[in-house]
Structure 1
Amino acid sequence: MINIWRLTKIQLLSSFGLNKALHTKDVKERRKSLLLSIGILAGVLMIAAASFGYSFMMALALEQMGRMDLLLAIMMAVTSLVGFFTTVYKASGVLFSYRDYDLVMSLPIKTSHVVASRMLQLYVLNLFFSVMVMLPAGMVYAIKVNPGALFYLFFLITLFFIQLLPIIAATIIGSCISWISSRFKASRIISLVLTFAVMIALMVGSFGMNENGQALADMGTGLAEMVFKLYPLAAVYVDAVCSYRMSSLLLFIALSVLSFMIFATVLGTRYKAIHTGLTTSHASGKYIMKPLEASSPFRALYKKELRRYFSSSIYVLNTSMGMILLLVMSIALLFVSPEKLGERIEIPQFSRYLSTLAPIIVSLFVTLSCTTSSAISLEGKHLWILQSSPVSKQSILLSKVAVNLTITLPIVVVSGVLLMISLRMGWTESLLLLVIPSIYACYSAMMGVIINLKLPNLEWTSEVAVVKQSAAILVSMFTGIISLLFPLGTSLLLPHVNGKLMMSGVGMIMIAVCIAMFRYIQTKGEQLVQKL
C-alpha cells in the first residue's frame, strides 16, 4: 500500500505543478503560486455556489411533488455521468499514454501497484467534482428535509464511492476505442470519430428518455423512473442515504469497491500487454519522394501547429467537444421549435430569451473550446527548438492563435446560420449572432496564449496533465466565463434594456480588448517566449 500511496502522491503533485510550487525558492514563483491558489479557490467556490443555487431551485419544484429524495438522486446521476464523460477520453492517457512509462515500469514495484496508483489518480480527480456538486446538494436537502443524524453519516460515506463505477465504465470504453483505432492506419482520426460518436450517442440517448408522455402524467413518478432508468445505482443510493437502509448502504459500497478492485486486479495482470496493444500503431505505406514545397514562416508554423493539434486525441477532444455540442444543439433546434422547448421545460418566453442571449450562449461554447491555453505547455522539452528558430516569436504565438480560430470560426458560422433559421432572427440579430462569437473566439485565443505564457507547464509526463489539469486551462476557462457574466447578467436583470444595443456595446468593448492583447503579443511576445 505504501508504494501505491507514494506513486499516487507523486503523480498528483506533478500533474498540478504542486511539487514545484512547494519547493521553489523563487519569490516570483511563490507569489504566482499563491495568486493561482487564490484564483482556483475562488473558482471552486463559484462552482459550489452555482451548484447550491441550482439544487435549491430544483428543490422548490421537487418539494411540491413530495419527492425531495429525487434531488440527491438527480445530482448523483448527473455527477456520475459528467465524471463518466470526462473520463472516457482521459482514461487512456492517464493509464497508458504517459511519457515516463519506461521509467515507472523499471522501478522495483509490482505492476498491480502501478495500475492501482493510476486508477487512484483518476479517482481523486473525479472526487473533486463530486464534492463540489454533491455537498451543496446535500446541504439543500438537509435544509429542506431536516433529516436524522444517520443521513449525514451515510451521505459522507457514500460520497467517496460515487465515482468508482463511472471510472471503470469510462476506462473500459476509452481503452476499447483506443485499441480499435490502433488497428488502422488513421488511428488518431478513427479514435476521435469513435469517441465523439459514443459520447454524442450517450447524450442523445439520455435526452431521448424524456420522451415518454405517459410517464409525465405523474411528474414525480415519471421523473423518478427516468433517473433510475438512466442510472440504476441511483436507486440504491437514495435508499441508503434518504431511507437510512444499512443493507442498501452496504450494497452500494460493495458494488463500487469490489468492482473497482476486480477491475484493477484484472487490468494489472494484463497491463503490459494492453499497453503494447494500445501504443502499437499501423505502419505507414511505402515512402514516396515528392518535391519539397516552400512556404512563408507563418504558414509553415501554422501547418506544424495544426499537425500537432490533431496528433493528440486528448487535445482535440478536450478543446473541440464544446464546439461539437454547439453544432448538435443548433441542428436539434431545427426539429424542436423554441416555443415547444419552452413549454417542455416550463420557462415562459423562452423563445425571446433564447433569441436575445443566443450570441452569449454561442460565445460560451467558444470560450470553453480554447486550444491556446495549453499550446505553449505542450511544446514541453522541445520548446528550445522554437526559441532558437530563426523566426519571430510573434509569428509562433500567432500561428497558435490561428489554429484556435480554425477550430472555432467555421463551426460558429455554420451553427449561427442554423440558429438564424430555427429562431427566425432578423438581420440585426443575425449579424450579432455571427459577430459577437467571432470576437470572443479571437479574445479566447489570444487570452489563452498570454495566460499560458504566464503559467507554463513544461515538465509534464502525460498530456492529460497539460490539457485538462494545468493552471493555464483553469484560469483561461474562468476568464472566459467571467467575461460573459456582465452581458448575461444585464440581459437577465434588466430585461427592459435594448438587447441589440447592449450586444453592440459588448462587441465594441471586446474588440478594444482584442486589439490591446494583439499589441501586447506583438511587443512582448519575443521577451515572454525567451523567458520560458
Structure 2
Amino acid sequence: MINIWRLTKLQLLSSFGLNKALHARDMKERRKLLLLSIAILIGVSMIAVASFGYSYMMALTFEQLGRMDLLLAIMMAVTSLIALFTTVYKASGVLFGFKDYDLVMSLPIKTSHVVASRVLQLYVLNLFFTLIVMVPAGAVYVIKVNPESVYYLFFLMTLLFIPLVPIIAATIIGSLISWISSRFKASRMVSIVLTFAVIIVFMVGSFRMNGNEQVLADMGTGLGDMIFKLYPLTSMYVDAVCSYQIGSFLLFIAISVITFMLFTIILGSKFKVIHTGLTTSHTSNRYQMKSLKASSPFFALYRKELRRYIGSTMYVLNTGIGMVLLLAMSISLLFIGSEQLGQLIDMPQLSTLLTTLAPLFVSVFVAMSCTTSCSISLEGKNVWILKSSPVPKQTILLSKIAVNLTVTLPIVAVSCVLLMISLHTGWMESLLLLVIPMIYACFLAIAGVLVNLKLPNLEWTNEVAVVKQSASVMVSMLIGLVSIVIPVGLSLLLSSINGNIILLGIGLIMIVVCAMMYRYLKIKGEQLFQSI
C-alpha cells in the first residue's frame, strides 16, 4: 500500500509542477506559484458559486414537490457523467501512455501497484470536480431540509466513493477505443474519431435527460425512477444520505471499493500485454524514395508543429472539442431552431442570448480550443533543439500560433455563416458575428504562447499532465473566460445601448490588446524562449 501511495504522490506532484515549485529557492518561481494559486482559487470559486446557484434553482422546484432527495440524485448523476465524460479520452494516456514506462516497470514494485497508482491519479483529479458539484448541492439540501446530524457523516464519506465506478467504466471505454484504433494503420485518426463519437453520444444523451423547471415538476417521481434505473448506485446513494439507511450506505461503499479493487487486480495481471497491444504501430511495407522539398523556415516549422498536433490524440481531443461542439451546434440550429435547442439543453433563454450576444457566444467555443497554451511544454526535453536552431525564435512562436489559427479560423468561419442563415442576422450583425470570434482566436492564440513561455512544464512524463493539468493551460482558460465574461456582463448591464455599438467597441479593444501582445512577443519573445 505504501508503494501505491508513493507512486500516486509523485505522479500528482509531477503532473501539476508542484514538486519543482515547492523545492525551488528562486523567488521568481515561488511568485509564479503564488499567482497561479490565486488564479486557480478564483476559477474554482466562480465554478462553485455557479454550481450552488444551479442547485438552488432546482431545489425550489423539488421543494414544492416534496422530493428534495431528487436534488442530490440528479447532482450525483451529473457528477458521475462528468467523471465519465472527462475520463474517456484521457484514461488511456494516463494508464498506458506515460513516457517513463520502462523506468517504472523496472522498479521492484508489483504491476498491480503501478496500475492502482495510475487509477488513483485519475480518481484524485475527478474527486476535485466531484467536490465542486456535490458540496454546493449538499449545502443547498441542508438549507432546505435541515437534516439530522448523521446526514453530514454519510454525505462526506460517500463523496469519496462517487467517482470510482464512473472512472473504471470510462477507463474500459477509453482502453477499448485505443485498442480498436491500434488495429488500423491510421490509428491516431481512428482513435480521435471514435472518442469524439463517444463524447457526442454522451452529451446528446445527457441533454435529452435535461429539462426546464416545468418539465421537472411534471415528471416528479418519474424523474427519480428514471435516474435510479439508468444508474442504480444513485438509488443507494440517496437512500444512504437522505434516508440514513446504513445498509445502503455500506452497500454503496462496498460496490465502489470492490469494483475498484477487482478492476485493478485484473488490469494489473494483463497490464503488460495490454500496453504492448495498445502501443503497437503499423507501418507500410512499401517505401519509395522521393525528392525532398525545400520551404521557408516558417512553413517547415508550421508543418512540424501541425504534425505534432495531429500526432497526439490527447492534444486534438482536448483542444478540438470546442470546435466540434461549435460546428455541431451551428448545423443543428439549421434544422431545429434556437428556441427548440434551448429547451433541449435546458437553456430557454438561448434564443435571446444568441440573437444579442452571438459573437461572444461563439467566442466561448474558441476559448476552449487554445492549442498554444501547452505547445511549448509539449516540446519537453527536446526543446533544446529549437533553442539551438538557427531560426529566429519569433518564427518558432509564430508557427505555433499559426497552427492554433488553422484549427479555429476555418471552423469558426463555416459555423458563423451557418449561424447567419439560421438566425437571419442583418449585415452589421453578420459582420460582427464573423469578425469578433476571429479576433478572439488571435487573442487567445497569442495569449496562450505568452502564458506558456511564463509557465512552461518541460519535465513531464505523460501528455495528460501538459495538455489538461498544466499551469499554463489553467491560466489560459481563466484568461479566456474572463475576457468573455466581462464583455457579456457589460452588454447585459448596458442593455439600453445598441448591442452592435458595444460589440464594435469590444472588437476594437481586443484588436488593440492583440497588437500590444504581438509587439511584446516580437520584442521579448526570443529572450523568454531562451530562458525556459
Aligned letter for 1:70?
Answer: L
The residue number in structure 2 matching 1:113 is 113
The residue number in structure 2 matching 1:388 is 388
Deviates more, 1:445-454 or 1:16-25: 16-25
Deviation at 1:511, TM superposition (A): 0.5
Provide the C-alpha distance between the structure 1 equivalents of 2:391 and 2:127, rounded to a whole number of angstroms. Answer: 44
SS in 1 for 2:522: helix
Provide the C-alpha distance between the structure 2 equivalents of 1:210 and 1:484, rounded to a whole number of angstroms. Answer: 26
Change (3 A) 1:68 1:217: closer
CA contact (8 A) 1:216 1:222 kept: no
Deviation at 1:2, TM superposition (A): 0.7
C-alpha RMSD of the superposition = 1.9
Deviation at 1:215, TM superposition (A): 8.3
CA contact (8 A) 1:394 1:521 kept: yes
SS in 2 for 1:438: helix
Provide the C-alpha distance between the structure 1 equivalents of 2:110 and 2:6, rounded to a whole number of angstroms. Answer: 13
Provide the C-alpha distance between the structure 1 equivalents of 2:347 and 2:312, rounded to a whole number of angstroms. Answer: 41
Deviation string, structure 1 residues 479-500 (Cα, Å, up to 9, x no partner): 1000111111123334323211
Change (3 A) 1:297 1:46: same
CA contact (8 A) 1:48 1:133 kept: yes
Deviation string, structure 1 residues 97-140 (Cα, Å, up to 9, x no partner): 10101000000111111111111111001111111111111111
Deviation at 1:232, TM superposition (A): 3.2
Deviation at 1:327, TM superposition (A): 1.3
The residue number in structure 2 matching 1:372 is 372
Aligned letter for 2:352?
Answer: R
> Map of 1:235-250 to 2, 5 A cutoff?
235-250=235-250
Provide the C-alpha distance between the structure 1 equivalents of 2:49 and 2:308, rounded to a whole number of angstroms. Answer: 38
Provide the C-alpha distance between the structure 2 equivalents of 1:413 and 1:266, rounded to a whole number of angstroms. Answer: 48
Provide the C-alpha distance between the structure 1 equivalents of 2:141 and 2:263, rounded to a whole number of angstroms. Answer: 34
Deviates more, 1:486-495 or 1:222-231: 222-231
CA contact (8 A) 1:215 1:222 kept: no
CA contact (8 A) 2:210 2:345 kept: no
Change (3 A) 1:349 1:325: closer
The residue number in structure 2 matching 1:519 is 519
Aligned letter for 2:462?
Answer: S
Provide the C-alpha distance between the structure 2 equivalents of 1:131 and 1:44, rounded to a whole number of angstroms. Answer: 11
Aligned letter for 2:36?
Answer: L
Residue 292 (str. 1) matches residue 292 (str. 2): yes
Change (3 A) 1:122 1:245: same
TM-score (norm 2): 0.96
The residue number in structure 1 matching 2:188 is 188
Deviation at 1:26, TM superposition (A): 1.0
SS in 2 for 1:375: coil
Deviation at 1:393, TM superposition (A): 0.5
The residue number in structure 1 matching 2:146 is 146
Provide the C-alpha distance between the structure 2 equivalents of 1:215 and 1:491, rounded to a whole number of angstroms. Answer: 30
Change (3 A) 1:169 1:299: same
Deviation at 1:345, TM superposition (A): 7.4
Deviates more, 1:104-113 or 1:427-436: 427-436
Provide the C-alpha distance between the structure 1 equivalents of 2:231 and 2:215, rounded to a whole number of angstroms. Answer: 17
SS in 2 for 1:459: coil
Aligned letter for 1:67?
Answer: R
Deviation at 1:440, TM superposition (A): 0.5
Change (3 A) 1:43 1:509: same
Deviation at 1:366, TM superposition (A): 0.5
Deviates more, 1:338-347 or 1:48-57: 338-347
Deviation at 1:462, TM superposition (A): 0.4
The residue number in structure 2 matching 1:431 is 431
Provide the C-alpha distance between the structure 2 equivalents of 1:346 and 1:194, rounded to a whole number of angstroms. Answer: 27
Change (3 A) 1:471 1:347: closer
Provide the C-alpha distance between the structure 1 equivalents of 2:346 and 2:520, rounded to a whole number of angstroms. Answer: 47
Deviation at 1:342, TM superposition (A): 5.0
Deviation at 1:221, TM superposition (A): 2.8
Change (3 A) 1:163 1:283: same
Provide the C-alpha distance between the structure 2 equivalents of 1:424 and 1:370, rounded to a whole number of angstroms. Answer: 29
> Map of 1:293-312 to 2, 5 A cutoff?
293-312=293-312
CA contact (8 A) 1:210 1:226 kept: no
CA contact (8 A) 2:208 2:344 kept: no
Provide the C-alpha distance between the structure 2 equivalents of 1:501 and 1:65, rounded to a whole number of angstroms. Answer: 45
The residue number in structure 2 matching 1:362 is 362
Deviation at 1:209, TM superposition (A): 4.5
Aligned letter for 1:8?
Answer: T
The residue number in structure 2 matching 1:55 is 55
Deviation at 1:344, TM superposition (A): 6.6
CA contact (8 A) 2:94 2:118 kept: yes
Deviation at 1:170, TM superposition (A): 0.6
Provide the C-alpha distance between the structure 1 equivalents of 2:47 and 2:172, rounded to a whole number of angstroms. Answer: 29
Residue 93 (str. 1) matches residue 110 (str. 2): no
Which segments of 5 or more consecutive residues in structure 1 lack a partner in the other structure?
none
The residue number in structure 2 matching 1:455 is 455
Residue 282 (str. 1) matches residue 277 (str. 2): no
Change (3 A) 1:439 1:106: same
The residue number in structure 2 matching 1:130 is 130
> Map of 1:6-405 to 2, 5 A cutoff?
6-209=6-209, 218-341=218-341, 350-405=350-405
SS in 1 for 2:334: coil
Provide the C-alpha distance between the structure 2 equivalents of 1:408 and 1:57, rounded to a whole number of angstroms. Answer: 35
Aligned letter for 1:461?
Answer: T
Deviation at 1:348, TM superposition (A): 6.5
Provide the C-alpha distance between the structure 2 equivalents of 1:312 and 1:187, rounded to a whole number of angstroms. Answer: 11
CA contact (8 A) 2:210 2:344 kept: no
Provide the C-alpha distance between the structure 2 equivalents of 1:229 and 1:427, rounded to a whole number of angstroms. Answer: 50
CA contact (8 A) 2:208 2:345 kept: no
Deviation string, structure 1 residues 408-458 (Cα, Å, up to 9, x no partner): 111111111221222222221111111111110001100000000000000
CA contact (8 A) 2:16 2:471 kept: yes
CA contact (8 A) 1:161 1:253 kept: yes
Aligned letter for 1:474?
Answer: M
Deviation at 1:341, TM superposition (A): 4.3
Deviates more, 1:59-68 or 1:134-143: 59-68
CA contact (8 A) 1:209 1:226 kept: no
> Between Structure 1 and Structure 2, how many residues are aligned?
531
Deviates more, 1:467-476 or 1:284-293: 284-293
Provide the C-alpha distance between the structure 2 equivalents of 1:348 and 1:496, rounded to a whole number of angstroms. Answer: 22
Provide the C-alpha distance between the structure 1 equivalents of 2:344 and 2:192, rounded to a whole number of angstroms. Answer: 33
Provide the C-alpha distance between the structure 2 equivalents of 1:266 and 1:12, rounded to a whole number of angstroms. Answer: 24
Deviation string, structure 1 residues 496-521 (Cα, Å, up to 9, x no partner): 23211111111010010111111111
Provide the C-alpha distance between the structure 2 equivalents of 1:229 and 1:403, rounded to a whole number of angstroms. Answer: 45
Provide the C-alpha distance between the structure 2 equivalents of 1:325 and 1:348, rounded to a whole number of angstroms. Answer: 19
CA contact (8 A) 2:39 2:478 kept: no
Provide the C-alpha distance between the structure 1 equivalents of 2:113 and 2:27, rounded to a whole number of angstroms. Answer: 37
Deviation at 1:223, TM superposition (A): 3.1
Provide the C-alpha distance between the structure 1 equivalents of 2:120 and 2:100, rounded to a whole number of angstroms. Answer: 18
Provide the C-alpha distance between the structure 2 equivalents of 1:298 and 1:499, rounded to a whole number of angstroms. Answer: 40
Identical counterparts, % of pairs:
71
The residue number in structure 1 matching 2:484 is 484
Deviation at 1:183, TM superposition (A): 1.1
Deviation at 1:36, TM superposition (A): 1.4
TM-score (norm 1): 0.96
